[in-house]
Structure 1
């Protein structure tokens, strides 16, 4: 397996960084990634059909023996930018620190999302080299701009839809195998996302006549905007247990300790109180039980001694299952309670449909988790807190899931989109086994 790690490190060193402003993207890095994939995985490229879609996204088809509905395995090629001085190790150096079971690879993309992308290639390469033929078609879908627009994956899903393909199972990045993420539950849990929250951005704008900062009016535009942002922060969306979260808590209830077991077993009664308590137990739990809204961008005057004629804030909102763009926008208007604040929807999408946590697709995932990641791992539904490329595939499949087959600590999960992103080598290698078994079972 040392050669697999070497290939992983080589691909991590290619800085396929995406930017919202595409003029800043070095698309040559994506060309380099594609060339390296062809060279490093010759059996995959001998057996599978490959297409380039939307410029840089990749779609592979592995023809199966039968004509049943296919499986789609997803990952994305791009990574978020880095601030190098914040890192303890060179972010694209793919340095290994430690030995044996303590070995860790440090690099941007180790978890999000080249860890999955390369593990999928390793699994397929091993099977293709053994002349394995899947029962039904297997597709590999690798978008190139998940971290920004997601247009590549959207184009892939649209193309598959045009071809009349309805996958039996779609698996993208998402929840991981975690320990202690749910308070009072000690067993390791495989958090498989059955839905993801909607995402929208509202622009709040305050206007005034402007002038010199030495003679400010009673309520300048910046103060009016600050008051609106403060009102939003002090009046969060209400808490509740959405169906995927309720299913998660019910699934882990038998594994909870002490009185918590009874509390989680009677959610029809205790649900509102549980939601309120979870909201106070850290950012992840809070985001699982309410729609969240936070101001992320602020702008005002062009100079420090100038009154702003326009003060503007971008408010990023993540919609809990059951909430809508229209409903959230109206609630923001009520909370801001200022007709002089302009509120506009910059972009928005409602929460995804909820995939079932019963049926053959779910059983296949659950069996594969236990066979490859541990018999003691409890597979549970989970509400994906962030958006992923999988949202584009809900129009062509009823069984869209979000799961990254790696055992990740709290600290490792916190490093996503931050500095010092890393993954343990043995954890990554077990992920290859998961994808290999999933393809073989499909």
Structure 2
């Protein structure tokens, strides 16, 4: 007898098959996959669409408002915004995928496909949890807005437009929750337990272009110190002179909470993180790329372009840099440091810039609700705050809410985290269903936050 597929797994697979790639730098994208995604959401989750209100957000996003239980004591309090995004990054070299990236195949209890982790798995988990609450004949204790963006991967305008819609309606959220950290295993050196990392801020983003110019000409008579050599020298200077290491308040709090779980020789240092920030920052830098990114601004060389022909010396060479700006620093300071490092013979142009997001509070009922929900659903995990390396749509919501958090309620191995924006992205069926259970527990927990929320105002 064939196994009956879980309806929420079927919904995710239907959505994973849609090629929802947003247009780059304002370019038009095919709207048809997004229109189909809206239809699939309505088909699988009709109660969430019918109970409240559906607001379309340009270019292809959605806001779904679910009204509060009118009998709840918190029905008139500030609402909650739960976020995810519909768009995905391009598929890349499909020959490297074990299973086709848009096939949404389920093999041995694992769902394979682009977007399983970033971010369609979270999108379906959010709305499935709300659907289950409504199917039980209940409403949330507070009004809830589901915000699904359509151009997060290209840092587009959809989330900004959603904020403007909410602002025009006078919506001032109690807290906002977007994608971000996860229940991560192998994320911190020496810690064997998984860590439920909740982003309380995110690093800034700075895109720079380095340009070196010269006469160029026939490749048979190359000149010394040409544009290619100067760009190469500039890149080496940046690698040899990294940004200084330091720890934000969120990183110090994370280390203090992890102290009981690190190897015994490190516990006294981690437990007194506030007293030894410099030593801890240096330890993180030495521990590898993932921990090092917590401790300083990073610089990645992402694009290179030069001559259009192999027998032509280039008249100009360009290198694209992507910097993730640490909390406590600014994009302007980072740009000036890059200019000083590469020297006067290389031009530095700012392409795009966003300063780090403000820190959201940890000693607060909203964060405590997230922490409690992590412990309830993932009892082996250690909940901790951290600063996200990546940029999310939630950075726009800091304009209308002081409590913006970033967490994806899925168990993720180091291998899975590496697959994001790469090949072989996948999620376990049980882990996906646990994510739905986490969101449902969060929604159920809203009715126990009345007194705590008043204290936290």
- Structure 1 stretch displaced more, 15-24 or 281-290: 15-24
Structure 1 residues 176-198: Cα deviation after superposition (integer angstroms, max 9, x where no partner): 01233112222222100000000
Residue equivalent to 2:19:
15
Deviation at 1:26, TM superposition (A): 2.2
Deviates more, 1:23-32 or 1:197-206: 23-32
Matched, 1:96 2:102: no
Mapped to 2, the partners of 1:24 and 1:104 lie a distance apart of: 34
1:345 to 342, 347, 350: 350
Separation in structure 2 between the aligned mates of residue 268 and residue 10 of structure 1, nearest angstrom? 48
Equivalent-residue separation in structure 2 for 1:256 and 1:343 (angstroms): 42
Residue of structure 2 equivalent to 1:270:
276
Structure 2 residue 82 is matched with structure 1 residue 73: yes
| 8 A Cα contact 1:51 1:58, kept in partner | yes
2:371 paired with 1:366: yes
C-alpha deviation, 1:150, in angstroms: 2.9
Name the SS of the counterpart of 2:196 in structure 1.
strand
Alignment equivalent of 1:84, drawn from 94, 98, 113 = 94
Determine the C-alpha separation between the residues in 1 that align with 2:265 and 2:226.
Answer: 53
Find the residue that maps to 1:147 and give its secondary structure.
helix
Q: CA deviation at 1:163?
A: 2.2
Segments of structure 2 that go 5 or more residues without pairing to the other structure are 447-457
User: Among residues 396, 399, 402, which one is paired with 2:400 in the alignment?
Assistant: 396
SS at match of 2:373: helix
Quote the offset at 1:120 in angstroms.
1.0
Per the TM alignment, residue 92 of structure 1 is displaced from its structure 2 partner at its CA by 1.0
Residue 311 of structure 1 and its aligned partner are, at CA, apart by 1.2
The one of 301, 305, 308 equivalent to 2:307 is 301
The structure 1 residue matched to 2:209, chosen from 194, 203, 206, is 203
Match runs of 1:131-280 below 5 Å = 131-280=137-286
Give CA deviations for 1:194-241 in whole Å, capped at 9, x if unaligned: 000000111111111222121122211111111111111111111111
Calculate the TM-score normalised by the size of structure 2.
Answer: 0.93
Deviation at 1:55, TM superposition (A): 2.6
SS of 1:370's partner is helix
- Asked whether 1:41 is paired with 2:45, we answer yes
The CA distance in 2 between the partners of 1:92 and 1:356, in whole Å, is: 39
Cross-structure match for 1:315? 321
1:13: how far off? 1.3
SS for the counterpart of 1:263 is helix
**What does 1:47-58 correspond to in 2, within 5 Å?**
47-58=51-62
**2:22/2:154 contact within 8 Å kept:** yes
Q: Aligned-residue CA RMSD in angstroms?
A: 1.4
Counterpart-to-counterpart distance in 2, 1:358 and 1:67: 24
- Would the aligned equivalents of 2:179 and 2:408 in 1 still touch at CA under 8 Å? yes
CA contact (8 A) 2:48 2:64 kept: no
